[in-house]
Amino acid sequence: MSTASTIKDTQLPTRPLGRTGMDITRVGFGAWAIGGPDWAVGWGPQDDEDSVSAIRHAIARGVNWIDTAAIYGLGHSEEIVGRALADLPLSERPYVFTKCGQVWDPNLRNTKFRVGKAASIKAECEDSLRRLGVERIDLYQMHWPAEDGTELEEYWQALLDLKAEGKVRAVGLSNHQVPLLERAEKLGHVDTLQPGLSAIHRAAAEKELGWCAAHETGVIVYSPMQSGLLTGRFSAGRVAGLPDSDWRSRHPDFTEHLARNLEVVDAMRPVAERHETSIAAVAIGWTLAWKAVTGAIVGARNPEQVDGWLDAPRLELSDEDLREIGEAIVASGAGEGPAFPE
């Protein structure tokens, strides 16, 4: 079962997640990559035992939440999260967050459809509860706006109903912009927003972060390392060696825009050296420097990768650090959105 109320204090800094009553560590374990290959947005081959070890290592190091989604690996990521948590004492289990609203044809693994019908949302919730092995999901989020003609009001009410029924503790929206947030808030409070945010993709900082701050809506950002690009470990050669089953091998961030994106990495390198930490931690720390951001979702495919970013929640970037990075972002022309955290 979910044990949100029994989680003890960890050694990592925490913040209240909006008005949900949950205090979360400033980094959470992101379970996208552990969904494995052979689906529309897979990350290439992945060893499930490494995935379980990575999750348990993150928990042992103090991370107190996991973010996954039904679509990741077409249910496989949720199953792996369930495996990793199954043998843990209730007092040591983290909060479990997942997402709905993307379904697939079981006979065509490369399919994904953004749906919002209430019946689908409620059926997806039951499937996620089963795969995760929990009695209640701590945070249930609509992954993207629906593309099947369903209005926001229908799927948001479905999530609110699941909350009222006790199937989920809190409800949120992912990848939704301010006009949709406003419509949802009229029906019932938007507990959380999950936007993408990194030093490369900064659009959410334009309006959504300010809206969330004004409405006491928690913010958990995804891809703070831009899917590994902001770790200092990528080059044109490494991109060329990615398997076809890794979605990054064909994404513009890693192909046509790679050179300018790596200029941002180069600006983070001296900052990391000054703080005696990793470039990955600096990239995550940059997202955490935005006042409205509660926490960042950070992926890992093995325990060593977890250790590569655990400095981030304690890292305090100075005004000078942020100025250097921001100026490099502007000069490079990388991405879009505000370049200086506030």
At 249-298, the pLDDT tens digits run 888 888 888 889 999 999 999 999 999 999 999 999 999 999 999 999 99
Contact 120, 148 (CB under 8 A): no
- Angstrom distance (rounded) from CA 235 to CA 232: 8
pLDDT of amino acid 24: 98
- Give the rounded distance of the alpha carbon of 48 from its chain centre: 20
Instruction: State the maximum Cα–Cα separation within the chain, in Å, rounded to a whole number.
Output: 53
Residue 249 has what pLDDT?
87
Q: How confident is the model at residue 202 (pLDDT cuts 50, 70, 90)?
A: very high
Q: Record the tokens describing residue 53, joined without a space.
A: 């070890």
pLDDT, mean over the chain: 94
pLDDT of 3: 40
How far does CA 81 lie from the centroid of its chain? 15
pLDDT of residue 238: 86
- Residue 7 is predicted with a pLDDT of 40
Q: What is the bridge-based pairing of β-strands 14-16 and 23-25? A: antiparallel
What is the domain class of 4-229+291-315 according to CATH? Answer: alpha beta
At residue 203 the predicted structure's pLDDT band, cuts being 50, 70 and 90, is: very high
| Burial group, residue 119, by CB count within 10 angstroms (0-12, 13-18, 19+) | exposed
Closest CA to 72 of 113, 115, 42: 42
Q: Does pLDDT of 299 surpass 90?
A: yes
Residue (of 203, 200, 190, 183) closest to 265 by Cα position: 200
Question: 14 by DSSP, 3-state: which?
Answer: strand
The pLDDT score that the predictor gives to residue 266 is: 94
CB within 8 Å of 216: residues ≥ 6 apart:
18, 19
pLDDT confidence of residue 43:
84
| pLDDT for position 2 | 42
Beta-bridge mates of residue 100:
142
Cβ contact 282:326 at 8 Å: no
CB atoms within 10 A of CB 228: 20
Task: List for the chain the helix, strand, coil content (%; round to 5).
Answer: 45, 20, 40
Q: What is the pLDDT of residue 245?
A: 84
Average pLDDT rounded to a whole number, residues 44-57: 96
pLDDT at 8 over 50: no
Residues with catalytic annotation? 72
Q: What residue ranges do the domains of the chain occupy?
A: 4-229+291-315
Cross-strand partners of 15: 24
What does the pLDDT read at residue 257?
A: 86
Closest by Cα among 197, 165, 218 to 25: 218
Residue 296 gets the label, from left (phi > 0), alpha (psi -120 to 50) or beta, of beta
The answer to whether residue 307 scores a pLDDT higher than 90 is yes
Backbone angles phi, psi at 228, to 5 degrees: 95, -15
Confidence of residue 341 (pLDDT cuts 50, 70, 90): very high
What does the alpha-carbon distance between residue 278 and residue 265 come to, in Å, rounded to a whole number?
Answer: 11
Tokens representing residue 107 in the block: 């006979």
Q: In whole angstroms, what is the distance from residue 302 CA to residue 307 CA? A: 9
Is the model's pTM score more than 0.85?
yes
pLDDT digits (tens, 9 = 90+) for 188-200: 999 999 999 999 9
